[in-house]
Amino acid sequence: MTENTTKPRISPHSWRPIFAVAGCLAAVLSSCTYEVADPALPCGDEGIVSFAGDLLPLLDAHCTGCHSGGSPSAGLDLTSHDRVAESTLEGSLLERLQLPPSNIRMMPLNGNPLPKCDVALFQSWAANGAPNN
């Protein structure tokens, strides 16, 4: 008696159900949809910007070294709400904060520009009427 040592051969027809299932699965997966959330704001949600809580720390860190005291640079004292609000609402503070570093009028002078998110706080505060909060 001789043993059959050849492996059983799979018929090409036996692959048809596998290909059919794979095709259906591909069709189902390609038709799936999902909700995409709006992208997050680059700076987060500023909400209500507080002069005392949000802006004064930025001014203290970047501006009041030159713009305070008895003889502030350019005659602009940025330690009081009234002066900061006036300069922001009339546009000169926001303009200077957004100039490129190559512009000699860019503030803070000889420093790094404020991050866009920090400038956005000033813009949001101005858009809300620059409240003394």
One-letter amino acid of 75: G
The per-residue pLDDT string of the chain (133 residues; one tens digit each, 9 = 90 and over) reads: 556 566 556 565 665 655 555 554 444 444 444 344 433 345 766 578 999 999 999 999 999 999 999 999 999 999 999 999 999 999 999 999 999 999 999 999 888 999 999 999 999 999 999 999 9
Comparing CA positions, the residue from 112, 117, 116, 107 lying closest to residue 76 is 107
User: Nearest 5°: CA angle at 103, between 64 and 41?
Assistant: 70
SS3 75: helix
At residue 39, the pLDDT reads 37
